[in-house]
Structure 1
Amino acid sequence: MKLKHFYFASLCLALLSCNENTNTKNNIPEKNSSSNQFTTKDKTIEVYTTANNTNLRLTETDKLTFQPAEQPKETEISVFVNPDKTFQTFIGIGGAITDASAEVFAKLSADKQKEFLNAYYSKDNGIGYSLLRTSIHSSDFGSASHTYIKEGDSALTSFSIEHDMKYRIPMMKRAIETAGGKLLTYASPWSPPAFMKSNKSMLKGGTLLPKYYQSWATYYTKFIKAYEKEGMPIWGITIQNEPMATQTWESCIYSAEAERDFLKNYLGPTMETEGLGDKNIVIWDHNRDLITNRANVILSDPEASKYVWGTGFHWYETWTGGDPMFDNLKAVNEAFPDKNLLFTEGCNEKFDAEKYQYWPNAERYGNSMINDFNSGTVGWTDWNILLDQNGGPNHVANFCFAPIHADTTSGELIYTPSYYYIGHFSKFILPEAKRVSTAVSRSVLISTSFLNDDGKMVTVVMNKSDKTISYNLFVGQEKTMVEIPPHAMQTLLY
């Protein structure tokens, strides 16, 4: 009997320990302790609005107060926030500084450069970006392809980031300075050097040749060390941008098994050997459609999974004509709750200068961000932060939209609605915030909420309809009434 009691007690302790550990994972609710219980008592709700066919752009439009709540009616539209249920920890929102962005930035006047940097990275005068993505050598967004070594140098003795010192690194340094000295920065490769690939080209897909696995793994570590020597801490890397897309630009194909084996046999061990084991490694870095397959193959392998911080994803699965596959994110989060989800790239394709103010482009951002966060995503990274009046430069004419464009002939900056929709999140939700349980009673609205470390709750609400909507905001046992214009985004800060 004593042995049975001992076994039972040990099992209980083990289960208790397991519960304590899993409560901190991304998709497991955490109940706030009484010491930091959120309350609406004596709080004012600041309402910020951006709306189509108005001049409202992140404009403070109302100050509201909470009142005791009553049972809502089915005929009312309501947003329900439950502060007692929290989920993943937020790491930030930002965009990519590509060669293209840096080349355009260099053409701006000093005043416009300052305006631009403040617009993105200032917490007071801009939208407070806290994430930064860049490429390991070239992507399609830039004037030409380039690498950091001489062609054929598998020993990497010629490795140099001199190319990036002209435009990209100076811009990144100024962005970090404007952000207050810190930007969580990660990097992605679009293709290994041509000689390392099966098709002997950086473009149009191909695969990494096995005899160069070690050289390519070491290449990542040389990049990290070179950038950190320039004073730019690298938080992490993704293994390969869009590993299932054969593009006309820099691209490289990895099956799920190939990415798994490269990670566990070469990249992961090499990062540790080079003293970079603390850097975060992100797998997949492609669309939501095949994300479950990639996660299943890599994260189910303990020897590969131990090197993985999380799974990155893009939003371009809609190119097939379908809808965004948000449920796939939830499936990955449920299957692997100890790993993270990171949105690593999205932009509106097929640049057309007539559509700078095209509102559905902004609504694509709002719809994705709210649904991605509600699916467990911890951070969200836009693509190019700046492009020119042609949607480039892009060396294969893959011209796209950015939230801000620069007309290099006039020297003026063009702010698109997407910039403001992103700002409804990035300006108010701070790193280390916890996502809070939020639901809506009508499909015309979508919403998400985060609780910042300073005790401020941020609820973002998007109206996709053609009508002005009055809705209840329920927070715990209290409520207020809010009005949102047609095709609008609101941030409620309280």
Structure 2
Amino acid sequence: MKVSKIFESSKDSEKRIATIPPDSRKAPDGKNLSCIINLDLEKQFQTVKGFGCAITESAGYVLSNLSSDGKMKIVESCFGQSESDNNYQFARTHINSCDFSLENWACVPQKDESLERFSFERTDLYITPVLKQALSFNKNLSTLATPWSPPDWMKTNNDMNHGGKLKPEYKKLWADYFVKFIKGMNERGIKVDGVSIQNEPEAVQTWDSCIWTGTEEAEFAVNFLKPAFVKNGLEQIKIFIWDHNRDNMLKRMKESFGVAGADKAIDGLAYHWYSGDQYDNVKECAALFPDKELFFTEGCIEGGTRPDKWYCGERYGHNIINDLNSGCTAWIDWNMALDIDGGPNHAGNNCDAPILVNTTTKKIVYQSSFYFIGHFSRFILPGSKRISCTMIPFMTPATVDGKMGNMMESTSFIRPDGKIVLVVMNRTEDDMVFELNCAEKNSKDKNGKMDYTVKVNSENSNRTFFCPPRSIQTYLLENS
């Protein structure tokens, strides 16, 4: 194997997914190793479907303030297929309003049990045009649709905000509401491939929210949503549960899949990052339910924007690497773009986004998080399979305890074209010097152990590389 290309982004330089000659990142003396990275093609894990972002009403509204060229530039940078674009395969959007909407709204705002007055007026104003533009760059784009709340008249608290629950008598009607939305989007040329039953079903929020237990979600999928899909020729639509944080995802998955018929009705679980680094829960879900999808569907830096802050990108890199290494099958960011204040958000819940737009000056700012996502999404193509990527740590003087910990991280995949992708991230203030070894299939020594002596680099003569301080790199490897 040889390293054919290296792509790099560094805090202390202007490099942003810049192509780096492999020779320039060799560490020829091999001294002061931070770690050894061993790749093993024999050990393969989940297949990844791709990466993506959310097209909310707020994101669409922000883009509407730009010229057609400015709007096109942003959409292409996310959904375009060239090496200079992020190659997103998924777009997540909302049924009815969410907090990143201009106000509360519903497709059927007034009580109408026939759903005859179902309207796409708000969806078509800012969301549909961006989805169509995204499709012009990626005709295979998959759209995921999620409700934050049913209309107020369907809920026990008569309010789209502050939690509440779906009234039991409206379960069938709510399933038909999903069908109406999906069919309407399909008529607009937008293919909806999946839905989740509820965004963050354990959270009572000051914005659009609705409470469901794991049993209630599963029973709704089994008895109402899946039958409605089958009846209307939409049986291919994937149904996801949870769509909330990692902390309770294992408990929730066990509860939901304990309901009779859930295994056939539910395709997977969606989750967010706001509770922290509970990656063991992701791993256990993947181990217990190996035939189900695990989609990461939302994460952002909360509390407003952080313009030009490198640590935002590093947080993304840390989360993506660990989610992928734990069994995640798709990774979807939150808002594609927001204004310079992190809005608009009708509840004042402003957040950061990978792309910020000054709607007055029309300046577009690509944040570190955009490039960190790109180090994965541009190179780990749909259909890629994760391979074993182990890091054997050595002394790291640049960490407070002299240990590598999570300050240096990596993940690796083999693509459908046979190329290997290795992503390495160094969050320390010193070079990460590592020896890179690759055991190919059937590469075993006389004792039956994997042989990692295959030398990896552009000239097959030196296998020690370095990742600069506060940097992320993507390596492409292929047969010599």
TM-score (norm 2): 0.89
Does 2:476 match 1:493? yes
Structure 2 match to 1:365: 316
Asked whether the equivalents of residues 80 and 86 of structure 2 are also in contact (C-alpha less than 8 Å), the reply is yes
Does 2:358 match 1:407? yes
C-alpha distance in 1 between matches for 2:253 and 2:55: 27
Structure 2 match to 1:478: 455
Asked whether the equivalents of residues 85 and 437 of structure 1 are also in contact (C-alpha less than 8 Å), the reply is yes
Structure 1 match to 2:397: none
Give the drift of 1:64.
4.9
C-alpha distance in 2 between matches for 1:201 and 1:289: 27
C-alpha distance in 1 between matches for 2:426 and 2:469: 6
Give the drift of 1:330.
0.8
C-alpha distance in 2 between matches for 1:475 and 1:65: 20
Does 2:408 match 1:445? yes
Asked whether the equivalents of residues 99 and 208 of structure 2 are also in contact (C-alpha less than 8 Å), the reply is yes
Does 2:143 match 1:185? yes
Q: Greater relative contact order (Cα 8 A, min sep 6): structure 1 or 2?
A: 2
SS at match of 2:382: coil
Structure 2 segments unaligned to the other structure (5+ residues): 394-404, 440-453, 457-462
SS at match of 1:265: helix
Identify if the C-alpha distance between structure 1 residues 310 and 358 changes in structure 2 by more than 3 Å, giving closer, same or farther.
Answer: same
Structure 1 match to 2:300: 347
Identify if the C-alpha distance between structure 1 residues 376 and 73 changes in structure 2 by more than 3 Å, giving closer, same or farther.
Answer: farther
Does 2:219 match 1:261? yes
SS at match of 1:341: strand
Structure 2 match to 1:133: 92
Structure 1 match to 2:289: 336
Give the drift of 1:417.
0.4
Structure 1 match to 2:39: 81
Deviates more, 1:265-274 or 1:410-419: 265-274
C-alpha distance in 2 between matches for 1:361 and 1:459: 21
Does 2:123 match 1:164? yes
**Structure 2 letter corresponding to 1:462:** M
Asked whether the equivalents of residues 45 and 65 of structure 1 are also in contact (C-alpha less than 8 Å), the reply is no
The structure 1 residue matched to 2:69, chosen from 107, 111, 130, is 111
SS at match of 1:289: helix
Give the drift of 1:333.
1.2
Asked whether the equivalents of residues 298 and 305 of structure 1 are also in contact (C-alpha less than 8 Å), the reply is no
Give the drift of 1:61.
1.8
Asked whether the equivalents of residues 33 and 435 of structure 2 are also in contact (C-alpha less than 8 Å), the reply is no
CA RMSD between the two structures: 1.8
Give the drift of 1:216.
0.5
C-alpha distance in 2 between matches for 1:450 and 1:48: 16
SS at match of 2:41: strand
C-alpha distance in 2 between matches for 1:188 and 1:207: 16
C-alpha distance in 2 between matches for 1:375 and 1:150: 41
Identity %: 38
Deviates more, 1:158-167 or 1:56-65: 56-65
Structure 2 match to 1:312: 270
C-alpha distance in 1 between matches for 2:280 and 2:66: 42
Asked whether the equivalents of residues 52 and 333 of structure 2 are also in contact (C-alpha less than 8 Å), the reply is yes
Q: How many residues align?
A: 441
Structure 1 match to 2:449: none
Give the drift of 1:45.
2.8
Asked whether the equivalents of residues 44 and 65 of structure 1 are also in contact (C-alpha less than 8 Å), the reply is no
Asked whether the equivalents of residues 47 and 383 of structure 2 are also in contact (C-alpha less than 8 Å), the reply is yes
Identify if the C-alpha distance between structure 1 residues 203 and 484 changes in structure 2 by more than 3 Å, giving closer, same or farther.
Answer: same
Give the drift of 1:190.
0.2
Asked whether the equivalents of residues 46 and 493 of structure 1 are also in contact (C-alpha less than 8 Å), the reply is yes
Give the drift of 1:73.
10
Identify if the C-alpha distance between structure 1 residues 74 and 488 changes in structure 2 by more than 3 Å, giving closer, same or farther.
Answer: closer
Deviations 1:270-318 (A, max 9, x none): 2112211111001110000010111001123341221111110000013
Asked whether the equivalents of residues 3 and 475 of structure 2 are also in contact (C-alpha less than 8 Å), the reply is no
Deviates more, 1:121-130 or 1:370-379: 121-130
C-alpha distance in 1 between matches for 2:18 and 2:334: 25
C-alpha distance in 2 between matches for 1:302 and 1:367: 37
C-alpha distance in 2 between matches for 1:79 and 1:103: 45
Moved over 4 A (4+): 64-67, 72-76
SS at match of 1:199: coil
Deviations 1:242-286 (A, max 9, x none): 000001110000011211221212112221122111110011100
The structure 2 residue matched to 1:123, chosen from 70, 78, 81, is 81
